Structure 1
Amino acid sequence: MPSPVAVPIVLTDDEREQLQAWSRRPSSAQALALRARIVLACADAAGESNGVIAASLGVSRNSVTKWRNRFATDRLDGLLDEPRPGRPRTIADADVERVITTTLETTPRNATHWSTRSLAGEVGLSQTAVSRIWRAFGLQPHRQDTWKLSKDPQFIDKVRDVVGLYLDPPERAVVLCVDEKSQIQALDRTAPVLPMMPGTPARASHDYLRAGTSSLYAALDMATGKVVGSLHTRHRAIEFKKFLTKLDQEVPADLDVHVVLDNASTHKTPAIKRWLLAHPRFVLHFTPTSSSWLNLVERWFGELTTKKLQRGTHRSVRALNADIRAWIEDWNDNPRPYVWTKTADQILESIARY
């Protein structure tokens, strides 16, 4: 018997462009890519049998016949997978809306927020269904973020002043971010720390012994990342004045000194004001109240805490101070300056959106 004649395939320009795009699909859509290559081969090899085309593509003759005929009948739509039968949907749109509105607009009688099980009992759905709906719409009633907005009447002016220093520092001047980390406790564990082992983290006793406190004044050079530190037993205006004197000695005399600091009362006493009048090259720039995030030295304090203080053990204030001084020296051997990227307008816009 004569062989059946293959259906001729003639492509429009749009169809060829779409098929070529499909044929370059990544591995996640290789089935569609193969079908597109089959149809392109059938169009380019007019008159060739399905068997010859199958051999050139390394597929079976039945595959070429199937997708040639599907394309001839339904064109591009014929290459797509047809919907597969499955279990019909059991949760209606009204149920989804009820879960969302109940989550957002109400609270349970005996709790501050819904759980998947308590809400499931309230709306008459399964706990799994509520969980899937929450995930789909990004609802997490168990989580709560905190925030604090500065009430400083000069907030905008201070933000522009400080951020302007970071982004465009004045010439022949050094910008120092200054603050004090007060009441650093010298703590010793009541039992030796057990070392880390495979499958077991290091373990320290929950209780500890206090051996006193120390206060660290630090100035972070915004340009170089180097830190000038000074340790004291207290944090009064007297200690702050001593620290300013140390900075005056550390910074070359031909440079102005712009100091970014917070609104602590020890920074504004008559003694400090007199010292500043006697040292006119020092200019203070105060951050807004409740805005410690504007002071870059706070970021450095965070590194000191997590890398040295949080898990450190010290039997005396002297040992604590020695550890802090050694850490500052090590930092200054390879300083890493922090780069401020946000403009004042971007900061103010984000606060306005919040």
Structure 2
Amino acid sequence: MWCVPKIDEPFVERMKDVLELYARPHDPSEPVVAFDERPVVLHDNARPDRPMRRGKPRRIDYEYVRRGTANIFCIVEPKTGRHLTHATEDRTRPSFALAAERIARAYPQAHRIHLVLDNLNTHTPASLIKAFGTERGRALASRFAFHHTPKHASWLNAAEIEASLVSASCPGSASVATASQPSPSYAAASGSGMQPRTGLVARSTGSSPSATPSGFSDPTGSTESCQSTSSCERPESKRDHAKTQKRKKGR
């Protein structure tokens, strides 16, 4: 379902601002970074998997245990392909402020960081001040120029576009039980060696349901997964397994 925006003067002004920003030549002193959130549902195995054996693929039981939810901050510099994507427990003002500080630390030589965001109420300099206090918050906010997409047009955000493409390109069939475990699909699906972004195909072997950003902070993380949508070799999916069992019962 499409939400058709009202094409008024503020919409056009914001649209032009974002598009002109993307059209600029790459300038290390003023990098353009796109920022977006992506919710993740955390699932764990109800029963142990059956490992792959000679002539038989790995088998995953269709039953799962829900482990709550987490948030993925999708952070990408479109001109260079650099990613600072990581997981958090939520997308509150303190979490946004910490993500902004992470971005600022990643560009120590930048005079101004242009940050493209949607219109979520936490995406403001006030969030930084509230989280870190007046002095530190204002100092951090001064590193950024905030560029908000038009209302009902967050598809102009490069981070949102890419998150949607990756989610659709190689989603796999399994789940992630904790936000600290990276999904191996993202780096391979993107073809750029970047760290995982969303819990799409990995299964956790641990039992802790806690959500921490540690597993998503290393840009040299695992890239083990399928190389393209057409060549993915995945374990038997929950849906396929259920269909197989139904066919066996009908015989």
Q: 2:201 aligns with which of 298, 311, 317?
A: 311
The answer to whether the aligner puts 1:329 opposite 2:186 as a matched pair is: no
| Cα distance between partner residues in 2 of 1:185 and 1:320 | 14
| Cα distance between partner residues in 2 of 1:149 and 1:203 | 44
What pairs up with 1:261-272 in 2 under 5 angstroms?
A: 261-268=117-124, 270-272=126-128
Aligned to 2:92: 236
Q: How many Å apart are 1:220 and its aligned residue?
A: 0.6
Q: SS in structure 2 opposite 1:266?
A: coil
Do the aligned partners of 2:15 and 2:150 also contact (CA within 8 Å) in 1? yes
Do the aligned partners of 1:195 and 1:203 also contact (CA within 8 Å) in 2? yes
| Cα distance between partner residues in 2 of 1:281 and 1:329 | 26
The answer to whether the aligner puts 1:293 opposite 2:155 as a matched pair is: yes
Do the aligned partners of 1:259 and 1:285 also contact (CA within 8 Å) in 2? yes
The answer to whether the aligner puts 1:253 opposite 2:145 as a matched pair is: no
Q: SS in structure 1 opposite 2:84?
A: strand
| Cα distance between partner residues in 1 of 2:101 and 2:116 | 16
| Cα distance between partner residues in 1 of 2:214 and 2:97 | 23
Q: 2:73 aligns with which of 217, 227, 231?
A: 217
| Cα distance between partner residues in 2 of 1:216 and 1:149 | 26
Do the aligned partners of 1:179 and 1:217 also contact (CA within 8 Å) in 2? yes
Q: Which amino acid aligns with 1:313?
A: R
What is the TM-score with the length of structure 1 in the denominator? Answer: 0.44
Q: How many Å apart are 1:285 and its aligned residue?
A: 0.4
In structure 2, do the counterparts of structure 1 residues 208 and 176 end up closer, same or farther at CA, with 3 Å as the change threshold?
A: same
The answer to whether the aligner puts 1:173 opposite 2:30 as a matched pair is: yes
RMSD: 3.5
Residues 234-259 of structure 1: CA distance to partner in whole angstroms, max 9, x if unpaired? 21111111221222221123431100
| Cα distance between partner residues in 2 of 1:191 and 1:299 | 35
Residues 278-299 of structure 1: CA distance to partner in whole angstroms, max 9, x if unpaired? 6434100001222232111124
| Cα distance between partner residues in 2 of 1:234 and 1:206 | 27
What pairs up with 1:97-108 in 2 under 5 angstroms?
A: none
Q: Which amino acid aligns with 1:240?
A: F
In structure 2, do the counterparts of structure 1 residues 269 and 245 end up closer, same or farther at CA, with 3 Å as the change threshold?
A: closer
Do the aligned partners of 1:158 and 1:286 also contact (CA within 8 Å) in 2? yes
In structure 2, do the counterparts of structure 1 residues 319 and 254 end up closer, same or farther at CA, with 3 Å as the change threshold?
A: closer
- Matched residue count: 185
Q: Aligned residues: percent identity?
A: 24
Residues 263-290 of structure 1: CA distance to partner in whole angstroms, max 9, x if unpaired? 0011137344663576434100001222
Do the aligned partners of 1:148 and 1:290 also contact (CA within 8 Å) in 2? yes
**Consecutive unaligned residues in structure 1, runs of 5 or more:** 1-145, 333-354
Q: 1:280 aligns with which of 142, 147, 170?
A: 142
Q: Which amino acid aligns with 2:220?
A: E
What pairs up with 1:335-346 in 2 under 5 angstroms?
A: none
Q: How many Å apart are 1:313 and its aligned residue?
A: 2.1
What is the TM-score with the length of structure 2 in the denominator? Answer: 0.59
Aligned to 2:6: 151
Q: Which amino acid aligns with 2:3?
A: K
| Cα distance between partner residues in 1 of 2:222 and 2:81 | 9
Q: SS in structure 2 opposite 1:173?
A: coil
Do the aligned partners of 2:128 and 2:140 also contact (CA within 8 Å) in 1? no
- Higher fraction of helix: 1
| Cα distance between partner residues in 1 of 2:56 and 2:6 | 47
Q: SS in structure 2 opposite 1:249?
A: helix
Whose RCO is larger (CA < 8 A, sep 6+)?
A: 2
Q: How many Å apart are 1:150 and its aligned residue?
A: 2.0
| Cα distance between partner residues in 2 of 1:329 and 1:194 | 29
